[in-house]
Amino acid sequence: MKHAVRPGLHRWTRLEYERLIDHDFLREDDPIELLDGLLLVKEPQHSRHRTAVLLVAKALERAFGEGWFVQTQSPLILDDRSEPEPDVCVVQGVPRDYVDAHPTRPALVVEIADSSLRLARGRKAAAYARARIADYWIVNLIDRVLETHREPARPGPARRHWGYAATATHGADAAIAPLAAPSTRIPVTDLLP
């Protein structure tokens, strides 16, 4: 009896990913993102998810103000094998600062999650921690809470993969201050649809 040969897994680079788009194998608006060399299908944009994206973006624009811009569902370069498109992220400067390359050092990344909650807590959290993004939030639509992930931590005796040493869950009645805008307080209820 022959054993089935397991197909190899191809890990894509950002350059290969860009070539797929350049040669029309993928379109820029396809619901695909590159994470850890894998092409992942993004969560569908149902109404509740899209509303949360807009609410988070508006709240963060108010909190950060001048000198920062908030981008939604736009590419972010983490490394040679990851170019995710987080639901919302806050970047220092103005959009014209990124004409030639996508941002690489956001002050805050936010994912809106319901069906993708496991991915947001797992592979995405590990990728953002590995890129040393200090402030990562998950708007958990299932439990109607905000999860904050801070203090990126390397793998070691206590953890197998990159992750965050400080995580917390904040209910709708709480308020949170972004690390890069510590004097502001954002009510969690402002982030929830």
pLDDT in tens, 128-161: 999 999 999 999 999 999 999 999 998 877 778 8
Interval 168-174 mean pLDDT: 97
**2 domain-assigned:** no
pLDDT at 61: 96
Residue 2 in this model has a pLDDT that exceeds 70: no
Question: When comparing pLDDT for 4 and 39, which is higher?
Answer: 39
**27 domain-assigned:** no
Write out the two tokens for 1.
């009896």
Question: When comparing pLDDT for 88 and 94, which is higher?
Answer: 88
Question: When comparing pLDDT for 104 and 2, which is higher?
Answer: 104
Residue 42 in this model has a pLDDT that exceeds 90: no
pLDDT at 90: 98
**85 domain-assigned:** yes
- Of 141, 149, 142, 29, nearest to 85 (Cα)? 29
* 3-state SS assignment for residue 91: strand
Residue 101: CB atoms within 10 Å? 9
Total number of domains in the chain: 1
pLDDT at 169: 98
- The rounded mean pLDDT for the chain is 90
d(C-alpha 54, C-alpha 7), whole Å: 41
Residue 14 in this model has a pLDDT that exceeds 70: yes
In DSSP terms, 1 is beta-bridged to none
d(C-alpha 71, C-alpha 90), whole Å: 6
Residue 186 in this model has a pLDDT that exceeds 80: yes
Q: What is the pLDDT of residues 44-83, one digit of tens each?
A: 778 999 999 999 999 999 999 999 999 999 999 998 888 8
**Which residue type, as a one-letter code, is found at position 58?**
K
Question: When comparing pLDDT for 2 and 8, which is higher?
Answer: 8
**1 domain-assigned:** no
**112 domain-assigned:** yes
pLDDT at 6: 66
pTM beyond cutoff 0.75 = yes
d(C-alpha 168, C-alpha 48), whole Å: 23
Note the helical H segments in 44-106.
47-64
Write out the two tokens for 17.
């990913």
pLDDT at 4: 67
| Domain of residue 87, residue span | 44-191
**86 domain-assigned:** yes
**73 domain-assigned:** yes
% the chain with pLDDT above 70: 96
- Of 138, 20, 27, 123, nearest to 78 (Cα)? 123
Which of left, alpha, beta for 144 (phi over 0: left; psi -120 to 50: alpha)?
Answer: left
In DSSP terms, 69 is beta-bridged to 91
Q: What is the pLDDT of residues 101-122, one digit of tens each?
A: 899 899 999 999 988 899 999 9
Q: What is the CATH number of the domain that holds 150?
A: 3.90.1570.10
